[in-house]
Amino acid sequence: MWGRKIVKCIETMNIRVYFIPLLAFILTVIAIHAKKKYQIQKASLQLLEKETKKLKLEECYSTQEQSIIKLRLTRQTQKALTCIVKSLNDDPYNGWMWSELGTLYTLTKDKTKATTCLKQAVKSSGKLSEYIRTWHFIGPFIIGKAEVDGDPIAYFGGIQNVSRRRYDKKVRFYSELVGGGEVKWKTYEQKGEAEPVQISPDVRWNELISSIGSLAITEWQGWAVGEFAVNSKDENVLVQCHGVSHIFVDDVIITGDVYRRTEYWFGIHLSPGIHTLYVPLRSKGPMTFQCRLKLEGSHAFQVHRPSMQPDLVNGHILGDVLALPITNLQTKKWLKKVKVSISQQNTGIPIKLIQGPIVNIAPGQTMPVKFQFKESESGNDQSRECKEISFILTVSTAETDSDHVTINLRCRHLHQSFIFTFQDHDGSIQQAAAISPTKDCPQEVCPVVLTLHGTGVSAQNQADGYKRMENGDWIFGLDSAWVLAPTRHGAHNWEGPGTLTAMTALHKLQELTKKSPWLRNKADENHVIFAGHSMGGHGAWHLATHYPDRALAVIPLAGWNKKEEYGDSNVFFRHDVSTSHVDPATKAILEACIAENEADRHVSNLQGIPVLGRIGANDRTVHPFFLRRMYRRLKEENVNVTYKELPGKEHWWWDTWKTNDGGAVNDPQLRNFMSEYSLVSSTTDQSCDSVDQDCSIIKSKGKYSKSKLDGSSFTLTVINPALGESLKGVRIIQQIVPYRTSTVQINLTPDSVTLATSNVAKLSISDTPHGDLTWTGVPCEIDGQVVNLKGNPVDLCRKTGSWKSCDDNPLMGNDKERGPSNYGPARRVAERSFLIVTGTSNKALAPILFQLAIYIANLFFLTSDTIAPIIEDTMLTDQLAESNNLIIIGGPGENLHSVKYLDKIPINIDNDSGIQLGECIFKKTRVGLLALAPHGNQGLSLILLGNSLGGLRDVVSLASPTIPPMTRSPFSNMVPDFVITGPDFNKKGAGGYLCSGFWGNRWEYRLELASCAC
């Protein structure tokens, strides 16, 4: 038929006649081949004939696809069977209808007929649907900015139930975003596999913004639902969804990726039949997302190029660790004994590879495998040929074939920026850019300008911002300081994991320069100028206020003071669904989780530190309002601050007063400021007699002499002792009431020091790293009590109203008492290397627990490049547990390891009496528990449990990041020490918490630290 149409079309185009017979022959051959490919199997025809005779086809009023799907969704199975058979009589080549018929026979447990239909579906349309052609959308609904909020659909049974009526035009739901307050299902067609789906809610956004006075009102949530067919048995299906943080395949949660990286796929094992993809949408204004499907294929795993690679510097390796992301494409088998080796080196100095402990990668997991490489022969010569290293890495496992990836390491010179890699605080591999000082420092030891980048700026670009042109030549770096620009993937805002990555990079730079004899100028981690632009400007505030004793100066450029007040970025409980339900006590608990990140609360810690704050007067990305606010607060605290708004400048510029003068981060004003406060008169610490010692390079009087401190007053402010260090050598180790503001007022006189504390239970006092204050032998009075300061440091504990020496090291928390090493909130479980442990005692539940572990592990990788190994509880040894923090996933029924750690906190779980916390007993049918517990002397375990599968899934969802266009690391925002969710959690978000709060200093339950009182 198509051949005749094409021939007729060609004839009308006046193509010469002798071409037509040849073309007709070719088209006939193609048609015969296509007919053979899509031929109807004999068994399928016989089945169709039998069902036609048995069923009353005249009772089917419509054979349209959507009518048939509607019958199936509403469980009108017999009517659906009748209409499908009638449809196949009209078109027996319709592969989707064969999939529909096979699915219905599966539901009616007629396996023989189901098998016949699905085999025919394979012949007609393949083993797997190419893509989802029709998407159904319900929304938009209001939503808050935090990771946790309610879902209005949950009031009507949840998306799995609600979507069964998506073809019913009478169905309505309710939303304050639209006129009339009602929304209904809409349909969107996807035009091809590579085509994204764009959802544009019919909302008068400008009217809402102007009337309500909030840009945050433009954020909405909704659901997209689509179906696809798996036609063959036991298929491993790979799923990839871009623009969303997570999805559900039927009832299984899988990671999405808002960063839209095409290389990562996530597998799920699916039975034959029609399956549903539920996509939770979250956006501002129009939204675009894309979901793709494919079968696993012949490869068991996929090796990805490392996103972080070190450079050679003057021909030397500086930063000798790599992480190779590997995806296990299998959904049932582990990748065991993953090994990385150098199979071939093409260019450069000979190197050898050193891999750490044996790595196993769980089914469906993507995990970086880290290793170290070194020069085969040591060499300390200062000058080498600057030639890149190129080598091929081979990845093999115990049972599968190998794969290969080529690595090219470029060579940079000291007058250029270069990248070095390092092992971070959590065991992951991260990177930073650095530039060596352009001139030698006194005694060849230099301070560091720790500069933090803004959103979307790479580490190297941030470092390269410190350039200027002189006499026609570019000069990179600073005269008398190292430039260090760390980075970490994700929306950390230089808080949480970002803070610790920056400080680890600082330590690693000192370590690397010390161990490199060919580097003349060493870096000192204790003499730092904290700087940054935009998001990095907030980072500069944040790091300087929490590590003030390291600070020589602070240069926050175009930064904001706290994320929750920056535009509509993280508005705290403004438009949330849960605001109609959440208790004020719960709000206070959640705010306490993030209060440590608010720079304006900690401004007093900058007393005695020079600050230069600067911004473009026309900056509308970060309005000058935020720096003006900090300027006012700094002046209130008598901080030495200079504030500048540059006329005519916006958020970023390269030329301040003349072309290429250093621009937004490195113009003459900034260089002069950095030069003034980076000139450290230093002497080498004689106790550091080995380059391998872990000690400070510099012991100096620094910029400030002791005489200048006489008569001075300082106030240390702390909200969470787990973050930060000391001010003038004074560090708060433990609070009387945890997670509330604590202060120490430090008054210095010519002859003594007086301290006045508020909400402080333990203190540590030591000499300052700058050498500006030595405490040993100084007469000291604390809260009116004279104490003897002997030793360095001196640890003091408040006992029965008086200060005495502590019996043990208060920095080291344990399972009896909390200290900085094991304070919460929940996110701190991931601030050290950790394992995800799954329960196995309930054999029926074990696969579900395992899948949830894979989801959390993949979230950690996608959001922050974190390494999150998975291990079953039966394989967890005491030695392995002791060297890691633990995230433990258990469910209904006993889990040995979760019970072991629950014994250390005041939680009792009984299948009959429910979950007991203090005087509160929670016996609801759907209850979930997330709880921090002590683990060893310094470690933490995070326990996820539920008295039902639904309850467990609720607390696992607390890990789910949601905020577009970037997403934070799991559990990293407003998750306290413990949360107990109830049956209304999905409806009310945080308003559905039965209880939340923090443990006391001895892991006890305290009413003033909890949101519930029973």
Per-residue pLDDT tens digits for 917-940: 988 899 888 999 999 999 887 899
Q: Does residue 685 carry a pLDDT above 60?
A: no
Question: In the CATH hierarchy, which top-level class contains the domain 414-562+598-684?
Answer: alpha beta
What's the chain's length in residues?
1014
Q: What is the pLDDT of residues 847-882, one digit of tens each?
A: 999 999 999 999 999 999 999 999 999 898 888 888
Residues 123-138: pLDDT tens digits? 999 999 988 999 999 9
Asked whether residue 578 carries a pLDDT value surpassing 90, the answer given is: yes
Q: Which pLDDT score is estimated for 474?
A: 95
Please give the pLDDT value at position 810.
65
Domain with CATH 1.25.40.10 in the chain: 38-125
Instruction: Convert the pLDDT of each residue in 530-558 to its tens digit.
Output: 999 999 999 999 999 999 999 999 999 99
Supply the pLDDT for residue 377. Answer: 67
| More confident call, 478 vs 145 | 478
In the structure, what pLDDT confidence band is assigned to residue 379 with cuts at 50, 70 and 90? low
Give the contacts of 830 (CB within 8 A, at least 6 positions apart). Answer: 426, 497, 860, 866, 885, 887, 969, 970, 971, 972
Long-range contacts of 254-257 (CB under 8 A, 24+ apart): 254/855, 255/855, 255/858, 255/859, 255/862, 257/862
Summarize the confidence of residues 435-460 as an average pLDDT: 95
CA-CA-CA-CA torsion sign (499, 500, 501, 504) = positive
Percent of the chain exceeding pLDDT 90 equals 72
377: Cβ contacts below 8 Å, ≥ 6 apart:
350
Q: Does domain 38-125 have CATH number 3.10.20.30?
A: no
pLDDT at 824 over 70: yes
Closest by CA to 524, choosing from 514, 510, 504, 543, is 510
CB-CB contact of 447 with 482 (8 Å): yes
Tell me the pLDDT band of 911, cut-offs 50, 70 and 90.
low
Given this model, what pLDDT does residue 130 score? 82
Q: Is the pLDDT score of 684 beyond 60?
A: no
pLDDT at 347: 85
For residues 934 and 1003, the answer to whether their CB atoms sit within 8 Å is yes
Rounded mean pLDDT, 732-741: 96
pLDDT at 17: 45
Q: What average pLDDT does the chain have? A: 89
Q: Which residues contact 622 (CB under 8 A, 6 or more apart)?
A: 534, 537, 558, 559, 560, 566, 615, 651
pLDDT above 60 for 783 = yes
What are the residue ranges of CATH 3.40.50.1820 in the chain?
A: 414-562+598-684
Residue 699 pLDDT level (bands cut at 50, 70, 90): very low
Rounded-to-integer distance, Cα 50 and Cα 307, Å: 59
Is residue 76 within 8 A of residue 67, CB to CB? The reply is: no
CATH topology for 302-413 is Immunoglobulin-like (2.60.40)
Strand pairing report for 785-787 and 780-782: antiparallel
pLDDT band at 402 (very low <50, low <70, confident <90, very high): confident
pLDDT at 380: 54
Numbered ranges of CATH 2.60.40.10 in the chain: 302-413
Alpha carbons 22 and 24: distance in angstroms, whole number:
5
Cβ count within 10 A of residue 892: 17
pLDDT above 50 (res 6): no
Residue with tokens 């043990």: 808
826-1009 — its CATH code? 3.30.379
Give 50-99 pLDDT, tens digit per residue: 999 999 998 998 999 999 999 999 999 999 999 999 999 999 999 999 99
At residue 690 the predicted structure's pLDDT band, cuts being 50, 70 and 90, is very low
Per-residue pLDDT at 383 exceeds 90: no
Mean per-residue pLDDT for 820-826? 94
Report residue 978 as tokens. 């413990």
Report the relative pairing of strands 742-748 and 713-718 from DSSP bridges.
antiparallel
pLDDT digits (tens, 9 = 90+) for 618-642: 999 999 999 999 999 999 999 999 9
Instruction: Specify the pLDDT at position 913.
Output: 67
Task: Identify the pLDDT of residue 703.
Answer: 37
Q: Reply yes or no on whether the pLDDT at 26 is more than 90.
A: no
pLDDT for residue 710:
63
| pLDDT class of 194 with cuts at 50, 70, 90 | confident
Using CA atoms, how far apart are residues 270 and 213, in angstroms rounded to an integer?
Answer: 47
* Per-residue tokens: 153: 């659909």
* Most confidently predicted of 661-675, 784-798, 926-940: 661-675
Nearest to 455, CA basis, from 536, 382, 517, 512: 536
Does residue 700 register a pLDDT over 50?
Answer: no
Q: Is the pLDDT of residue 18 over 70?
A: no
Chain segment 321-340, per-residue pLDDT in tens: 999 999 999 999 999 999 99
Q: Is 245 helix (H, G, I), strand (E, B) or coil?
A: coil
Give me the pLDDT at residue 940, please. Answer: 95
pLDDT at 24: 46
Q: Are 491 and 968 in contact (CB under 8 A)?
A: yes
Domain with CATH 3.30.379 in the chain: 826-1009
Q: Evaluate if residue 384 carries a pLDDT over 90.
A: no
What digits encode the pLDDT tens for the residues 233-278? 878 999 999 999 999 999 999 999 999 999 999 999 999 999 999 9
Question: pLDDT, tens digit, for every residue of 294-313?
Answer: 998 778 899 999 989 999 99
Q: What is the pTM of this model?
A: 0.92
Cβ-proximal residues to 670 (8 Å cutoff; 6+ apart), any chain: 555, 612, 614, 662
- In a 10 Å sphere around its CB, with 0-12 CB exposed, 13-18 middle and 19+ buried, how is residue 535 labelled? buried
- The predicted structure's pLDDT at residue 962: 80
